[in-house]
Amino acid sequence: MAGGPGRPGDPAAPDGRMPGDPAGLDAARARLVDELRASGRLTSKAVEDAFRAVPRHVFLPDVPAGRAYQDEALVIKTGEDGLPLSSSSQPAIMAIMLEQLQIAPGQRVLEVGTGTGYNAALMRHLVGPGGSVVSVDIDPDLVASARENLVAAGYPDVIVVCGDGGFGVPEHAPYDRIIVTAGASDLAPEWLAQLRPDGCLALPLSLRGIQLCVALERSGNHWRSRAACRCGFIRMVGSMAADESHVALGPQPGLHVLVDDGTPVTDPDALWAALSGPFADVPAGVDVAGLAELGEADLWVTMTEPGLSRLTIVASGPLRGEALPLLPFGALAEPASDSGAGGPGVAAGPGAGAGPGAGAGPGGGAGQASASLAVAGLVPAAPPPRGRRDFEVAVRGFGPRGAILAERLAGRVAAWNASGRPRSSDLIVTAYPRGAPGEPMPAGPGEVILDRPDTRLVLGWPALP
């Protein structure tokens, strides 16, 4: 409950109060909001005021109160395999999405993915007395707890519906704004149909395995992004769940791999053996200012290599929540026909690691990769000097053919640098609903087309040739 006693293990506030104490909780919330504002995540007074007013700890009754005001995502439900099913999103990305939506007083908002109810309460504060918020979640346990949390926090009039969010909530439509808080690979026709003509849809959209929070507005017969940033959300279930599954890698509970836009993993043992074996680093000759910019290079490499499959590596059990030093940004896989030996090649996304040369992978070198398997990935070429965040990019190759693939991707990193280092915020996403007139067919220069069941997505950096 709000204002209850501090729990054991809660860190003390700078003034000596425990965060469970009302004054300590208020101070912790104020510090979080100040951090979000200083980082540029909060840019409007309206969204800032909402974060100052809504108590996040009330929506996380099983989490130490002080931790509720850390800028981190908190898993609230896991499956039998140890993988997360639902979480309270990181406040920074929540702020970004709410700024993207530009919610105004009096508007009607639909949220797909209720979670704890915290985000719905923030939006209820934004729409004010003349507006309304409807939230839908497929999990009845989450719906019940969110309703309790909203009442406890003072937002009992948020409408929480138990149902498949892929169908929206038509009985309360139309909406001025729709926000989806689970990763989606497509745009549900029901979401677009339930939006007003001048409405806006914000969602984490999976583009070749990389999630971008995009805000889309109607533009004639299609939808065009007005903002985008990189993110990471638990994926949707129900009618809008992608046709994909996690494949276990190595001893369990441990790592799982998910393949997007490419050939499925048919030999997980070979992939695990490759990732557990020796590697070699190929310097790209490009410096970046920290992991965030390394992620921008990863996005460019992924979008400009549409012939490769994208791998996402996730952890369960005791590994969940830890940084995966070899593959924190994911991986790329080469189709068997390109490897020349009947198996996939893999190019891993950016990550942290040791300097150039060979070394042991996550399994300490156990096992031998199939001769047909190539694995590679972007990493720092060497640890940053003390007190500095910048480092040179290298591409780490695993398996017998890993160095070849690493050389290829190192060239892509150099091309990213030569093109002015395009960022995710510069990427334009255009969505054409299936059957709409004017749907594009071939990709234009510098564009990638992703066909989904309900939409055709066109991705590109318009400033590039």
Residues 111 and 160 reside in one and the same domain: yes
Residues 229 and 288 reside in one and the same domain: no
Residue 248 in any domain: the answer is no
Task: Single out the residue in 418, 441, 457 at which a domain terminates.
Answer: 418
How high is the pLDDT of residue 326? 59
Q: Which domain holds residue 35?
A: 1-71
Q: What is the CATH number of the domain that holds 454?
A: 3.40.50.150
Angle at the Cα of 369 (from 365 to 370), degrees rounded to 5? 170
Q: Let me know if 87 is a catalytic residue.
A: no
- Of 99-103, 191-195, 279-283, 326-330, least confident by mean pLDDT is 326-330
Residue 83 in any domain: the answer is yes
Residues 260 and 393 reside in one and the same domain: yes
Catalytic residue among 86, 87, 88, 89: 89
Residue 108 in any domain: the answer is yes
Residues 229 and 83 reside in one and the same domain: yes
With a pLDDT cut of 70, the percent of the chain lying above it is 78
Residue 88 near residue 71, CB atoms below 8 Å: no
Residues 36 and 166 reside in one and the same domain: no
Residue 247 in any domain: the answer is no
- Taken in order 338, 343, 349, 350, the sign of the CA dihedral is negative
Of 47, 43, 73, nearest in space to 60 by CA: 73
Residues 35 and 120 reside in one and the same domain: no
Half-sphere exposure of 91 (CA within 13 A, CB side): 29
Residues 254-272, mean pLDDT to the nearest whole number: 78
Residues 186 and 235 reside in one and the same domain: yes
Residues 310 and 455 reside in one and the same domain: no
- Condensed to tens digits (0 to 9), the pLDDT of residues 17-40 reads 344 566 688 999 999 999 999 999
> 374-380 and 447-451: which strand pairing?
unpaired
Q: How many CB atoms lie within 10 A of CB 159?
A: 18
Q: Where are the alpha helices (DSSP H) in 260-401?
A: 268-276, 291-303, 336-339
Task: Single out the residue in 379, 396, 418 at which a domain terminates.
Answer: 418
Residue-averaged pLDDT of the chain: 81
Residues 458-462, mean pLDDT to the nearest whole number: 87
Residue 251 in any domain: the answer is no
Task: Single out the residue in 38, 71, 104 at which a domain terminates.
Answer: 71
Residue 364 in any domain: the answer is yes
Residues 201 and 104 reside in one and the same domain: yes
- Condensed to tens digits (0 to 9), the pLDDT of residues 268-283 reads 888 888 877 888 889 9
Residues 267 and 303 reside in one and the same domain: yes
- Condensed to tens digits (0 to 9), the pLDDT of residues 128-176 reads 999 999 999 999 999 999 999 999 999 999 999 999 999 999 999 999 9
Residue 249 in any domain: the answer is no
Residues 101 and 237 reside in one and the same domain: yes
Q: Could you give the number of structural domains in the chain?
A: 3
Instruction: Give the global pTM.
Output: 0.82
Residues 213 and 343 reside in one and the same domain: no
